[in-house]
Amino acid sequence: MKGLIISIISLLIPVGTALADEKSTLNSGDTAWLLTSSALVMLMTVPGLALFYGGLAKKKDILNTIAMSFIAYCIVSITWIIVGYGIAYGSTIGQFFGNPFEYFFLKGMTPSTLSDNIPAVLDVMFQLVFATITVALVSGSYIERMKFSAWLIFTILWGVLVYPVVAHWVWGDGFLSAHGALDFAGGTVVHINAGIAGLVGALMLGKRKDPSLIPNNVTLVALGAGLLWFGWFGFNAGSAYAADGAAAYAMLNTNIATAAAAIGWMLVEWMHAGKPTVVGISSGIIAGLVAITPAAGFVNVVGAIIIGVIAGVCSYYAVAVVKQKLGYDDALDVFGIHGVSGIIGAILTGVFADPSIGGEDAVGLLYGNPGQVVTQIIGVIATIIYSGVMTAVIIFIAKALTGLRVKPDAEEEGLDQSEHGEKAYNI
């Protein structure tokens, strides 16, 4: 019994053992950049995404929408340090997931423990903010009808069973990494993953009583989009893991692809719907940010512009035409923007990857390696299948435990009042 107790305590209490090569030395410049990048990515979720989604929601549901992003950040922050980081970056088990208990409550890490040339706990923090925004992104498909209690269950399970597993496949020692899949900052891990989860959950939840998009505050939408664009520099340039030329090129690519996508969305909306809207330009911004994410450190500026334009145009049609014809209720178009642009960006990375930018391991179709496109497509398909199936399982579990949808009269009243007892506008 005494031995068992000691074993349990040893799991719970971190022990300072070195994780990095003893010859590694701290690089203060890289450390400073990763600290800054982590803060920028945190800004993307709280408040960036919360304001973007909140402004798009109906005025009776804005607070509930914001709360879903806030609480996703809070919950995944905790699950990540318990088992999430281990599943993503622990010793691989069959190339599908890492050892969940290898870094249990950050066991083995102290302030002086290094991961290459940065503090190991900083790597945990940088990857934590990626995990948090991925889960928060999914909420945009579920707003205005999902019970808050069901969202809490979904957040816990999806943040442990889905995101870190796909992260291990691509960025850990998983099978996609072993086969050379390219994903600089999360096109597959973050955006395809979240987009498919949003679509599957939206189909399982069913349509809202009023499925129209009635933004309560377009100013908040624009502010949220601007904060996301600003924070995305940490998302993409930070993924270089160094304060160097690769980070600078990734930052530049992020900016120009986003600009190209916003222009592309604006022009096609203008031609198709008659007017260029601020909501449309903001949505084009997000489409461009998503599409360049997997390619940011691998393509040249011409590739970045092409990826941006294609993403802006295709995501517009996915939202304005395809969704209307198919009739599913993805409330804030998580699949239409993040899923579609994520898929476009992932595949086109395999086309435009330029070895003069990303190095000898990043060689795309245009530079003599058509097999890279096949590898990218395999990564897309694997993520779609795993995320879709696991999301359905988690939704079933949440339904069994708490039920999924609020009652019709609560939906009519608005989830701000029915779920939280508050109003955004007390006028």
pLDDT tens over the chain, length 427 residues? 455 444 444 444 444 333 544 457 999 999 999 999 999 999 999 999 999 999 999 999 999 999 999 999 999 999 999 999 999 999 999 889 999 999 999 999 999 999 999 999 999 999 999 999 999 999 999 999 999 999 999 999 999 999 999 999 999 999 999 999 999 999 999 999 999 999 999 999 999 999 999 999 999 999 999 999 999 999 999 999 999 999 999 999 999 999 999 999 999 999 999 999 999 999 999 999 999 999 999 999 999 999 999 999 999 999 999 999 999 999 999 999 999 999 999 999 999 999 999 999 999 999 999 999 999 999 999 999 999 999 999 999 999 999 999 999 999 999 999 999 999 998 7
| Angle formed by the axes of helices 163-171 and 120-138, nearest 10° | 130
Specify the pTM: 0.94
Q: Please, what are the domains in the chain?
A: 28-415 (1.10.3430.10)
